[in-house]
């Protein structure tokens, strides 16, 4: 049974508005407030006076003309319980938001069906493996957290999670229209995309009271999460563009860097497929074989978070430096730390021959993790690995 179909039958997603700008909760009041903000541009009256005016024609005019920035003034704070992890990832890829999401790194996941067995099984294996390797460096709690972080690779990307998600009224409507468009026009027909569309339909149905037909993008904008092309050129200069394969779990970490663009596609049957495997298992053939066997047992219907997907990352070199400050660190998830280092190495190699100025800026970050960066002091809670963080196996 495909896991999202199971979840739909057992425990539907719940979305509750917990707060909003000026405590506005009704669509008509949000539209009116936004129109009053629009009137500020062309009126000598104060805001309190503008709020009391009849603005029906102004609302109709701004919606029809595409002058939608005024509808960003009202922000909505939603508590979303039971959202599939992939749904949270789609929302979190749209940049204009604030999210506080249940962490699969620091709290235990609540998988269902066969994945619960696998999660618990690998929690035990990982705790023993990490303890044997790093028991002198890490306390029991840290070992447990790292085991959780890696056992979650066995759980479905449709596993329910919870989050507080804040976005503007305009952004909410744009997303709801993006979802409509994706449901109607996407030609993908795998179980993965069926599950994604089920989530989108449910999301739109729950929040339909906020829906405004004309409040949609007029600039040919669409969901940013799914790549529309198969091939992207590798480039490293003032700006960069690169492609690589990582897990769903890694992408969930990556796209929190909102100044950098990320888009994904499933790796097709005609290409190399596989799963992320914790580095600490490398060299242990028995465990490696068992890990891959368990991944395969759920991959055909549940899309585990350890499944490899193809990522296109693009942005400015300065934003990549900011990313390194967060991810080349002993506190970072191992997979994203490793991939960030690989991208840095490629960037430096290319820039050395093609862009001396960028090379000179990046080379200062090539000597190790964040604690080796120029003019940097370690944060208040140092990691256990220090300047050897890039050599850790977990």
Residue 217 lies in a domain: no
Asked if residue 172 and residue 131 are part of one domain, the reply reads no
First to last CA, the chain: 32
The reported pLDDT for the residue numbered 108 is 62
The reported pLDDT for the residue numbered 110 is 66
CATH of the domain at 7: 3.30.1360.170
**In the chain, which residue ranges form alpha helices assigned H by DSSP?**
3-10, 27-39, 47-52, 56-65, 85-92, 113-134, 140-151, 169-185, 191-206, 248-254, 285-302, 317-327, 334-354, 356-362
Mean pLDDT value across residues 141-153: 95
Residue 364 lies in a domain: yes
CATH of the domain at 355: 3.30.70.3180
The reported pLDDT for the residue numbered 375 is 87
Which residues, other chains included, contact 364 with Cβ-Cβ below 8 Å and sequence gap of 6+?
A: 373, 374
Domain of residue 265: give its range.
235-391
The reported pLDDT for the residue numbered 88 is 96
Asked if residue 202 and residue 85 are part of one domain, the reply reads yes
What is the pTM assigned to this prediction? 0.91
Which residues, other chains included, contact 76 with Cβ-Cβ below 8 Å and sequence gap of 6+?
A: 17, 19, 20, 21, 166, 167, 168, 169, 172, 210
CA atoms of 119 and 124, how far apart (whole Å): 9
| Sheet hosting strand 308-316, strand order edge to edge | 235-236, 239-247, 308-316, 261-266
Interval 319-336: pLDDT, tens: 999 999 999 999 999 999
Binning the chain into helix, strand and coil, the percentages to the nearest 5 are 55, 15, 30
């Amino acid at each position: 049974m495909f896991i999202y179909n199971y979840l739909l039958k057992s425990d539907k997603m719940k979305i509750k508005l917990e707060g909003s700008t000026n405590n506005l909760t009704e669509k008509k009041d949000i539209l009116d407030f936004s129109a009053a903000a629009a009137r500020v541009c062309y009126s000598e009256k104060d805001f309190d006076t503008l709020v009391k005016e009849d603005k029906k024609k102004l609302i109709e005019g701004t919606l029809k003309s595409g002058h939608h920035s005024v509808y960003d003034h009202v922000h909505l704070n939603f508590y979303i319980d039971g959202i599939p992890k992939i749904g949270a990832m789609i929302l979190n890829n749209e940049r204009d938001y604030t999210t506080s999401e249940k962490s699969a790194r620091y709290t235990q996941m609540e998988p269902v069906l066969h994945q619960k067995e696998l999660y618990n099984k690998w929690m035990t294996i990982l705790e023993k493996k990490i303890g044997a390797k790093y028991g002198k460096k890490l306390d029991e709690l840290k070992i447990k957290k790292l085991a959780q972080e890696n056992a979650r690779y066995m759980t479905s990307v449709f596993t329910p999670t919870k989050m507080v998600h804040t976005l503007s009224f305009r952004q909410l409507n744009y997303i709801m229209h993006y979802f409509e468009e994706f449901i109607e026009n996407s030609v993908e027909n795998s179980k993965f995309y069926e599950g994604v569309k089920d989530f989108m339909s449910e999301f739109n149905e729950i929040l339909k009271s906020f829906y405004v037909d004309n409040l949609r993008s007029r600039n040919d904008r669409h969901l940013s999460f799914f790549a529309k092309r198969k091939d992207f050129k590798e480039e490293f200069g003032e700006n960069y563009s690169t492609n690589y394969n990582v897990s769903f779990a890694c992408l969930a970490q990556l796209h929190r860097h909102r100044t950098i663009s990320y888009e994904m596609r499933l790796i097709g049957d005609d290409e190399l497929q596989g799963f992320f495997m914790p580095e600490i298992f490398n060299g242990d053939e028995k465990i490696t074989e068992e890990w891959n066997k368990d991944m395969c047992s759920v991959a055909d219907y549940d899309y585990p978070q350890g499944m490899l997907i193809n990522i296109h990352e693009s942005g400015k070199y300065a934003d990549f430096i900011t990313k390194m400050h967060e991810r080349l660190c002993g506190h970072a998830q191992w997979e994203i730390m490793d991939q960030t280092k690989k991208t840095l190495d490629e960037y430096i190699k290319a820039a050395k021959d093609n862009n001396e100025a960028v090379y000179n800026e990046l080379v200062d970050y090539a000597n190790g993790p964040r604690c080796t960066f120029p003019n940097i002091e370690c944060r208040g809670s140092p990691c256990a690995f220090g300047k050897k963080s890039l050599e850790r196996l977990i």
